[in-house]
Structure formats: C-alpha cells, structure tokens
Amino acid sequence: MRIIIFGPQGAGKGTQAGKLVEETGAAHIATGDLVREEIKKGSELGEKIQEYNDKGELVPDEIIIEMTKPHLDKHDGWILDGFPRNQAQAKALDEALEEIDEKVDRVIALEASDEDLVKRLSGRRQSEATGKTYHIEHDPPPEDSDEDAGPFVQRDDDTEEAIRKRLETYHEETEPLKDYYEEQGILVTVDASQGIDEVTKEVMKAVGEDK
C-alpha cells in the first residue's frame, strides 16, 4: 500500500508510521529525515537547506521534490511522512506516481489542537543512534542500551518559537490538502489527541490491518 500519513507537527506521524512499518513491512519515507541526513552529510545541498530547516521554513518545492522522488520508486509499499505540504507538492507527487503507474491508496490525517501539539513537542526526544522518536513521558526512551543506545536529544527546531511558526505554515499551506484528498475519496481522519495505542488502533483500521 502507498499511504500518506498527514497532520501537523507533533500529531504523531513518525510514531504511527513506525507502527505501520512493523505491521505492513512498508518503507517509511520521512522528508524531514531526508533533510536532516543531507544536512548531517555537510553537502552543498545540505548547507543550502539548513537555513530553512533551522528557521522552521519549508525548503523550496523543487529541491524537496527532487529529494523525495527517487524514494517513491524504490519500494513497493511506503508510508510517506511530511510530504506533500502544499498544492505544488501534491501535484508533483501525483505526476511522479503517474509516471510509474501508481497512486496513493490512503491518506491518514491525524488531528489535534495546537496547544496539545506544542506541549507534546517540548517532550520529544530523538535517538542519535537509530533516529527513532520518543517522548519523555508518553513513550520514554529504553534504559537498556542494547535496544537503542541513544543518546536521546532534542531537535534544534523543537523550540516553542520554531514550533509555532511551523504550525502556522501547516494551517496556511498544508491543511487545505485535506480537501484535495477528501475529494478523491481516500482521506481518513483520526483524533490524534488520544493516547498512542488508541491512535494506532484507528490507524490500523484505516488501512485494513485491524484484524
């Protein structure tokens, strides 16, 4: 299946994508991870996109589309996380999929209030060893280093100021895409203010993996 996991910063896209990967064996394509990997490499492209990332601004469409496209064709099934974020990207995705005779099967939109999201993101920690995301209260990092050695660090762009800016951009440019996918009849919305396991149950139902 080709699934878009959609929603604002902190809604739990990465967390639920991880569960879907475990359940379906699909690949997790997270454009934010692609951006951070490129920055870490210190490439010319990485230097160019770092400014946007650090300021909480979107990387220009043509750059992010070129970075994402090769991954769509690499796997039979995927969970796309963090893309598309505006009309131009949604169109580019449709065109890229048409070229390989594929389409998006389902868009799962996670929904929660901005206040909940800001609170949630301040407790987010990411493992430098595995890239996996945890929460200091709701999903604590393992103490056993065989499972994930860490260290578990806060993202530079998870400051309250940068989070609010990213949420503003989400509401203006990204959220309207829900109508686009609703019209295609492939949108499922999920209340993401529930606990992680409750959200997972609804997500699995949305992709027919709730047996």
Among all chains, which residue has been given the structure tokens 């769509």?
72
Residue 28 found at the interface with ligand ADP (CB under 6 A): no
> Using CB under 6 A, which of the segments 39-47, 119-127, 176-184, 203-211 binds ligand ADP?
119-127
Rounded Cα distance, 205 and 211, in Å: 8
Residue 13 found at the interface with ligand ADP (CB under 6 A): yes
Does residue 2 carry a catalytic annotation? no
Residue closer to ligand ADP by CB (options 203, 207) is 203
Among 23, 37, 94, 139, the residue binding ligand ADP under the rule CB under 6 A is 139
Asked whether the bond before 176 is cis by omega within 30 degrees of 0, the reply is no
Q: How far is the CB of 11 from ligand ADP (least distance, A)?
A: 4
> Using CB under 6 A, which of the segments 40-48, 71-79, 127-135, 141-149 binds ligand ADP?
127-135
Among all chains, which residue has been given the structure tokens 């699995």?
204
Instruction: List CB contacts of 115: < 8 A, sequence separation 6 or more.
Output: none
Backbone angles phi, psi at 43, to 5 degrees: -70, 170
Does residue 166 carry a catalytic annotation? yes
Q: How many CB atoms lie within 10 A of CB 140?
A: 12
DSSP 19-52: HHHHHH--EEEEHHHHHHHHHHHT-HHHHHHHHH
Which of 19, 36, 120, 124 is labelled catalytic?
124
Residue closer to ligand ADP by CB (options 10, 150) is 10
Residue 132 found at the interface with ligand ADP (CB under 6 A): no
Q: Judge contact between 128 and 150, C-beta under 8 A.
A: yes
Residue 46 found at the interface with ligand ADP (CB under 6 A): no
> Using CB under 6 A, which of the segments 79-87, 96-104, 146-154, 201-209 binds ligand ADP?
79-87
Rounded Cα distance, 55 and 15, in Å: 24
Residues that bind ligand ADP (CB under 6 A): 7, 9-15, 31-32, 35, 52-53, 56-59, 64, 82-83, 85, 89, 120-121, 123-124, 133-135, 138-139, 166, 192, 194-196, 199
